[in-house]
Structure 1
């Protein structure tokens, strides 16, 4: 069984002894020994967890294994990773020719799969460093830590060019231009592969995803990139040229389509352009089940993918079926043996370059370096250099480290998982202490020296403090789960910042985010805005900047939009006028001493549209101005006599408040202020004229508050998990929510304008039946049952009823099953609570709160049949109290309450032949 492997070893040794180290000759000699089964096996990559038997590695001569996101040994530590790798490699060496495996992982910001490894900022942050030397060092460390666990292939760097912030993979790219991708692609590949792949601490890089993944329409993950070839080449392909110049050994095909054709089956781009024109000599690997998306027929998909230029297929699970089909395609002449040999030649060449034939097993001598202090220091440096100080009022930063008291607020402040983001220990990432590291709160405590740090997750703290650091942003996500139709800051976070500002001290907002967010609504309540991106495990680097141990140096590698109306916006666009431009970033802390004038910090409307707040860089000490000095424009039109009064805020002396004669509406766009006066100053600093200064429209902000009764479009969530949006063919077009699995959810900010019973009509399509859960402020629950409509775009209405009181709610929609889509929810009022003049009036119930029994009284204007029932707040019937006749006049009833009822709020329904009437009841148990 081992004799062919000995022959192969002799061949390798012979070429080495003779000085004939030309790897191509080694590869050709090996290919001549291989059967079709062995060649197809080399083109097959299986997920480790999908192996039916370890013996399949040798029996089918598998060329590669991978660990998908979260696919790790137990316990998840470097030694177990290395041992796992060796166990697989031993099986590979038992095959007829003993060809070693190449093992791949997504180590996209450090060896982020392994507990205890250092996790660097995601690429969006590294791009903002504009420091290719640092990026090379980051990837050298990544290569060392990956090598320590035996792994020899990294699905990195991602050199996508994100052109729409709504895309859930925005943070995986270095920035929105070819300029930044070219700089960082070369540095990252050189960091991973070094000058030679045959060193113990170097690994094979994989540039991804070829090509155009960041340019899809509306930022839909795996969507359609509808651009000309000129734009595809100049923007999306440019970084690959630099990666090829750095001798990148592999390139991953992209899920997206280009003008309607899937990249995994695109021969022109994969072969004619990438391999022949650009001279790429490595191998092309598919993405996870990417081949499956080419065609519904798997055989046809495989044929088109291999003929297009895919060399290795990340199957990842049905590898036996893939092997059988590909062999059959070759035997039937649908795929040529020359194409197979070309693919295998490319794969084997990289294995030889990696010296896998000579040293196939892990080198565990590197394990002490995993998560070492030296590596963490570099990660902390990367955090410092990636942080972008977007704006700051004078003398707010840096904070004094000596004998001060600071409040830190926000649940993300003490959350390493949130700092790391997606692709951290697991595919989607998760909140909490997912690995070893330092949260922002811990970093502030570490750096603050003699100053006291107080932490309150919700900001509740009554004692005086000198300043507040509030951490807001995104919970972890990856890929399509991060696609987001609305990028405004979430309702709860806006409210937190507003509440904290009432304390009357400077507010420093630190954002943990994988993309620019719409921040206009919180800007008036802040005094400094910092984008920390997704910094990873060494968040002390954030504190290094806040306390002034280092100056900020990060510059935006993406454009920061003013509002959702500007998205997509990219450097070079016509009418380019963002909130913060490409390459913006303060590199000094603003101070009154260094300032030459008083400048605007931000402007925004109040949430009800009655006021405008103009926040300036310093406290206003003199205001000799009138409303005539200001001009207000809405939608490009000057609005005469709109301003009724101007005055300095009583709680924040750097803010001017403009009272308005009429409300600004949610639909108003392009609001701006022009100032021609000269009477506003802060001591010697004068506010110069303003020319159409942008005013953010905060009316019904915070993710877009929607009204009930009314229609809520399913895609207008402010936060979600697991769902994606797609083009909808239902009446009215637009988008629908889909790709739902059990446990996926969306959240909406809603305002109910009238107490009453509502019919909610959900517009649903799909191939499964089930139920959909609706929660309102986690206290009112309703379930909508639905059935199959036998089509993804075959829409039907499914309804239920629930009682809602007037007020604001967070409506959470939770999927209980999969295989369905949602277009919208339509709320219509059935019956509001009536007044005295109704047929039933003067309803009273006592005691209320009740324990075990109640007395109910009401007036009835006529003799009538009535029913009296008890419901939960979600509309679920829990007890029928009475059914029968009631008399004209005062009616009295005594009821015993079911012992099965839990403590909580309920509704009593009195229903006659025409109307329904309601009374709230609190039960104490």
Structure 2
């Protein structure tokens, strides 16, 4: 074994010189034929390639691999100089113009910076493609996770993961900060719609999306690295406060919040993101027991752990990060730090911590081993640039058809008095509501921008457009945003109302969960006409509507369907029967929060409820 190791190193030194000469002459990637340096040889096992590369790396190389700046605060030249291992786009951070081709150009620019380093270690580029490649104008936007949880269809979710991966691949982005495997236990939480459901079985079942994103094997065609987030317990914080404290015994943490991550590890997820939140007062970003002992050792996670955006900064509760926070996070088991702006200072702090022994070099080596292994598995050393052949898949008809099916499967019919639904083709229907003809409203947060926004933010089909298509050419489908103009000549009225877009803590609720006055006035005008009223809720969570429900003839929860509003129309007009089931318990009023299956509280609609036609 010792002789073989020496022979490998000797061969590597010779081939390293040859590889350097090849790079100097050709300026392109060093390929496998014939006889590249060992870490550049795809025929060798990943473990051998990592060991060979790690032995060649300086401390500067290793620190760079653990650093992830935001694209706005780093240049390709910085990537070269500081050996940066990863770059990210935060929510809404996009090149100009925001086109798939511009994304590919941007990615390739950063990658060329990485490949200009002495060891030519490629960077990996991360983005929140949480319901499709949502930062990119023109991409297919699928329903948010809460809607996918309502489908109870893991095979469909796997296909959505694969479609998202294809669209990402065309733009070069090869690391998705998804899926969110939180178990949402309080609907006041601003990230409720990022959860597949309130019981661990639902997010665990939907980890099939990891297989869709990563493919049958990481590194295959249109394969991107998936991220299980946010580890651990972010859906169980007191009062539903985002980034708050989950104050529960370890037995409950393990029974409710850990199972989806255990399933994600079984499916080979490549990375795990740590939560901003705390467990019984201890910030997750410094929780060595849960990150190292439970995730890495007990669950056997072999990928790498990444912090959340500026998450290390929040360990001590003060603005900005310190060297002590950096040491605490890395020693806890975080392998890569998402440090968008102050990344140079992070490198300095980590270098100092290693040199004075506050962070063992062995911990840095372990982090690099994990990061490099996933890069090798992903095939970045052989195929580092954007695969533009997949640009044609961005917003393709095939992917939009898949999204439309997902939307239809996610609709939950909660009330249908006197069989007002399905609507009859060819009839007279009056449509109202701010969410009826608005792509931005129906897509929600994490769509083009971080918080999302009303308006024609990207390409797609609004719910109103879908209704007009489904009604047929002989039908009358009138529209007024506030309901004015309706009369008794219509067969039915459809009010499409709900929440304005939001994300994360900006979506936390503490002062009620009902519809706002504008929506209630719109519905009131429709009811006053005397025609049957169908209410379609576009929302990221259940809303407090029990007192209003008796005056509505039908109620459909549409969640946040994304760009394919025709899927909502498919159910309203009966082209697809409603099959969605509630992934969360629906409260009688907001004072019941938190309310979950089996807690003894009497809901308006129980977990799993959902009607169908006939």
SS of corresponding position for 1:189: helix
Give the match for residue 244 of structure 1.
Answer: 265
Contact 1:387 1:533 in 2 (8 A): yes
CA distance in 1, matches of 2:486, 2:422: 24
Give the match for residue 20 of structure 2.
Answer: 3
Note if 1:115 corresponds to 2:118. Answer: no
Count of residue pairs brought into register by the alignment: 585
Say which is worse superposed, 304-313 or 392-401, in terms of deviation.
Answer: 392-401
CA distance in 2, matches of 1:528, 1:459: 17
CA distance in 1, matches of 2:522, 2:118: 64
Contact 2:484 2:525 in 1 (8 A): no
Match of 1:165 among 171, 183, 187: 187
Give the match for residue 477 of structure 2.
Answer: 453
Match of 1:366 among 390, 394, 403: 390
Note if 1:85 corresponds to 2:107. Answer: yes
Note if 1:580 corresponds to 2:597. Answer: no
Q: Within 5 Å, which residues of 2 pair with 1:134-149?
A: 134-149=156-171
Match of 1:61 among 83, 102, 109: 83
RMSD: 1.7
Give the match for residue 462 of structure 2.
Answer: 439
Q: Within 5 Å, which residues of 2 pair with 1:803-842?
A: none
Say which is worse superposed, 218-227 or 290-299, in terms of deviation.
Answer: 290-299
Match of 2:501 among 476, 488, 494: 476
Give the match for residue 23 of structure 1.
Answer: 46
Contact 1:544 1:550 in 2 (8 A): yes
CA distance in 2, matches of 1:456, 1:248: 47
Q: Deviations over 1:813-832 (max 9, x none)?
A: xxxxxxxxxxxxxxxxxxxx
Contact 1:200 1:363 in 2 (8 A): no
- 1:524 to partner: Cα distance: 2.2
Match of 1:420 among 435, 443, 446: 443
Match of 1:514 among 525, 529, 540: 540
Q: Within 5 Å, which residues of 2 pair with 1:589-668?
A: 589=614
Give the match for residue 117 of structure 2.
Answer: 95
SS of corresponding position for 2:479: strand
Relative distance call for 1:66 and 1:4 in structure 2 (3 A) is: farther
| Unmatched runs of 5 consecutive residues or more in structure 2 | 1-16
Q: Deviations over 1:152-178 (max 9, x none)?
A: 100000001110000000000100001
CA distance in 2, matches of 1:174, 1:13: 46
Contact 1:109 1:120 in 2 (8 A): yes
Relative distance call for 1:321 and 1:142 in structure 2 (3 A) is: same
Match of 1:397 among 411, 421, 427: 421
Match of 2:214 among 170, 178, 193: 193
Contact 1:498 1:522 in 2 (8 A): no
- 1:521 to partner: Cα distance: 2.6
- 1:3 to partner: Cα distance: 2.2
Relative distance call for 1:498 and 1:38 in structure 2 (3 A) is: same
Q: Deviations over 1:708-742 (max 9, x none)?
A: xxxxxxxxxxxxxxxxxxxxxxxxxxxxxxxxxxx
CA distance in 2, matches of 1:18, 1:148: 25
TM-score of the pair, normalised by structure 1:
0.62
Q: Deviations over 1:397-454 (max 9, x none)?
A: 111102x211101121111001100000000000000000011111101111021100
CA distance in 1, matches of 2:251, 2:420: 46
- 1:20 to partner: Cα distance: 5.4
- 1:465 to partner: Cα distance: 1.1
Relative distance call for 1:19 and 1:67 in structure 2 (3 A) is: closer
Contact 2:234 2:243 in 1 (8 A): yes
SS of corresponding position for 2:107: helix
- 1:21 to partner: Cα distance: 2.4
TM-score of the pair, normalised by structure 2:
0.93
Q: Within 5 Å, which residues of 2 pair with 1:476-875?
A: 476-485=501-510, 486-573=512-599, 575-589=600-614
- 1:17 to partner: Cα distance: 11
Greater strand percent: which structure? 1
CA distance in 2, matches of 1:504, 1:20: 73
SS of corresponding position for 2:212: helix
Give the match for residue 368 of structure 2.
Answer: 344
Note if 1:261 corresponds to 2:285. Answer: no
CA distance in 1, matches of 2:322, 2:465: 51
Note if 1:124 corresponds to 2:150. Answer: no
SS of corresponding position for 1:413: coil
CA distance in 1, matches of 2:469, 2:528: 28
Match of 2:178 among 156, 166, 169: 156
CA distance in 2, matches of 1:180, 1:4: 54
Q: Within 5 Å, which residues of 2 pair with 1:235-314?
A: 235-295=256-316, 296=318, 298-314=322-338
Relative distance call for 1:347 and 1:496 in structure 2 (3 A) is: same
SS of corresponding position for 1:251: strand
Greater helix percent: which structure? 2
CA distance in 2, matches of 1:438, 1:456: 18
Relative distance call for 1:462 and 1:277 in structure 2 (3 A) is: closer
- 1:5 to partner: Cα distance: 8.7
Q: Deviations over 1:592-648 (max 9, x none)?
A: xxxxxxxxxxxxxxxxxxxxxxxxxxxxxxxxxxxxxxxxxxxxxxxxxxxxxxxxx
Q: Deviations over 1:197-236 (max 9, x none)?
A: 2223110000000000000000000000001111111110
CA distance in 2, matches of 1:17, 1:96: 13
The higher relative CO (CA closer than 8 Å, separation ≥ 6) is in: 2
Give the match for residue 406 of structure 2.
Answer: 382
SS of corresponding position for 1:406: strand
Relative distance call for 1:364 and 1:472 in structure 2 (3 A) is: same
Contact 2:39 2:50 in 1 (8 A): no
SS of corresponding position for 1:533: coil
Contact 1:559 1:580 in 2 (8 A): yes
Contact 1:4 1:97 in 2 (8 A): no
Question: Where does structure 1 differ by over 6 angstroms across 4 or more consecutive aligned residues?
Answer: 16-19
- 1:184 to partner: Cα distance: 0.4
